[in-house]
Amino acid sequence: MLDLEIVPERSLGCDHWEFVLGMHFSQAVAIIQSQVGIIKGVQVLYNDNNPLDVDLIINLPQDGIRLFFDPVGQRLKIIEICNMKLVKLKYCGNAFNSPEVLPSIEQIEHSFGATHPGLYDSEKQIFVLNFRGLAFYFSVESKFQTGSTHNIEFPDSLHFQPGNSPLVTRMVIYSGSTVEQATSPELPLSCYNGHLYLGKAEVLRDDCSTRGIKLTLLTTGNARRIDATKVQFEKDVLLGHTAQDVASALGAPSKVFFKSEDKMRIHTPNAHRRISTKSDYFFNYFTLGMDVLFDARSNMAKKIVLHTNYPGHYNFNMYQRCEFYMKLGTAEITAYARWDDLRKQLTPSERPVVLNRASSTNTTNPFGSTFCYGYQDIIFEVMPNNYIASLTLYGDGRPISNETESA
């Protein structure tokens, strides 16, 4: 049984880890992965057809916890304890829910102090005690209700026999004026951990060719300091930039991935010739939601890949969502655009390339194939629900400036 401390309007956790309101979905998953054998039984719930309309949920049924993430920003919005019997809870070091301490109304008022009058919904037979950033729900039978106040009752109008006070059935930690109006806060400074995060990305284009991207980046100093602040700045990553240029602008990548094979090489005129033993390589920036592909010989950027991180995609949770913007004629393209709307304004390739990823350990992609459409020097990877999974920007192959050479 997990033994956790709550901080109203902020977090649920222990000495080793903490779910913090505003943290990204991937950060919560990383915590769960670090607690293998302690946190057991994990479910991810989402709406496959309309992933932007319904909260993204991590359900921990064996620990009685549900985490609700805003579907757009993918940051933690609500922490719910849905089964009080499966977890021990403390506030300011004092237990208020455990096998030995039952979470009655008297216990909650004793642990958390005075609050606003409680609300009673006689239709649902639920009594709610609200604190700032914290709500407790009690299941109350109608026999305890006296008087009639149009479905709203206050504590003085509910009467319980000694020792028969109702117990908390669920508890919610949130940020906002009410649970119903809860919103996910900005990424807390404690969650930066020295990484860069993306504010937005603008695709830079000249006529019908892509030059690169302009990134608005966010970072912070030592988040443990009281005076730590968030810093915002801009950097350009251009096709034709060297690996050193990109590393200077964005710092070391999260990972460097070397291409083991090029499956498109069979379509080239000299496919039978072994040209080079070197492999093209990617700089993966997971917190920025992007990859940069470099040519093995010139070490110059030849492609930039932007990821939207939709649930139901093969790479979901590897990258955080890249908040990109690009204008192609009259079409304004963002991470939230639907392909069936865009193709009415563009003239993409008629027949898509079907992409069906498979790993070495699992030859079947459980999420199904995606479809790649070409338009000028851009490849749109489209999911079956018509949302864009990624954009690949590869330019026209010419040098970006006099200081770079063609790959």
258-308 tens-digit pLDDT: 987 555 444 455 555 555 568 999 999 999 999 999 999 999 999 999 999
- Regarding whether 249 and 329 lie in a shared domain, the answer is yes
Do 119 and 128 form a contact (C-beta atoms < 8 A)?
yes
Structure tokens at 304: 């930039």
Q: What is the structure's pLDDT at 334?
A: 98
Give the residue-averaged pLDDT of 356-364. Answer: 61
CB atoms closer than 10 angstroms to residue 162: 5
Residues 237 and 385 in one domain: yes
Spatial separation of the C-alpha atoms in residues 84 and 41, rounded to whole Å:
17
Same domain, 63 and 148: yes
* Residue 143: count of CB within 10 angstroms of its CB: 8
At residue 31, does pLDDT exceed 70? Answer: yes
Same domain? For 148 and 216 the reply is no
Q: What percent of the chain has pLDDT over 70?
A: 83
Q: Are residues 222 and 366 in the same domain?
A: yes
Q: What is the pLDDT of residue 405?
A: 31
- Residues pairing with 19 in the sheet: 12
Q: 200 and 172 in contact (C-beta within 8 Å)?
A: no
Q: What is the pLDDT of residues 138-181, one digit of tens each?
A: 988 655 554 433 333 444 445 565 567 789 999 999 998 889 99
Q: Is residue 404 part of a domain?
A: no
Indicate if 387 and 272 belong to the same structural domain.
Answer: yes
What is the total count of domains within the chain?
Answer: 2
Domain-located, residue 255: yes
Task: Provide the 10 A C-beta neighbour count for residue 161.
Answer: 7
Domain extent at residue 82: 2-174
Contacts of 334 (CB under 8 A, 6+ apart): 323, 324, 325, 326
Taking the C-alpha atoms of residue 24 and residue 234, their distance in angstroms, rounded to an integer, is 22
Between 270 and 110, where is the model more confident? Answer: 110
Under 8 Å between Cβ of 250 and 288: yes
How far, in Å, CA of 395 to CA of 238, rounded? 10
Verify that 221 and 129 share a domain, yes or no: no
In a domain, 265, yes or no: yes
- Judged by average pLDDT, the poorest of 123-137, 199-213, 334-348 is 123-137
Residue 203 lies inside a defined structural domain of this protein: yes
Do 199 and 169 share a domain, yes or no?
Answer: no
Is the model's pLDDT at 395 over the cut of 90?
A: no
In angstroms, the CA 166 to CA 27 distance is 36
> How far is 130 from 119, CA to CA, in rounded Å?
8
Identify the domain boundary among 174, 205, 236: 174
Residue 301 counted as domain residue: yes
- Contact by Cβ (8 Å): 118, 152: no
The mean pLDDT value for 381-406 works out to 71
* 113 domain-assigned: yes
Give me the amino acid identity at 312.
Answer: G
- CA distances from residue 105 to 34, 82, 109, 125 in whole angstroms, order as listed: 35, 17, 6, 15
pLDDT of residue 105: 86
Q: Is the pLDDT of residue 404 over 90?
A: no
The whole-number pLDDT of residue 269 equals 54
pLDDT tens track for 215-261: 999 998 765 555 678 899 999 999 999 999 999 999 999 999 998 75
Burial of 353 (0-12, 13-18, 19+ CB in 10 A): middle
Dihedral sign for Cα 172, 177, 183, 186, please.
Answer: negative
| pLDDT at residue 37 greater than cutoff 60 | yes
Record the tokens describing residue 407, joined without a space: 């790959």
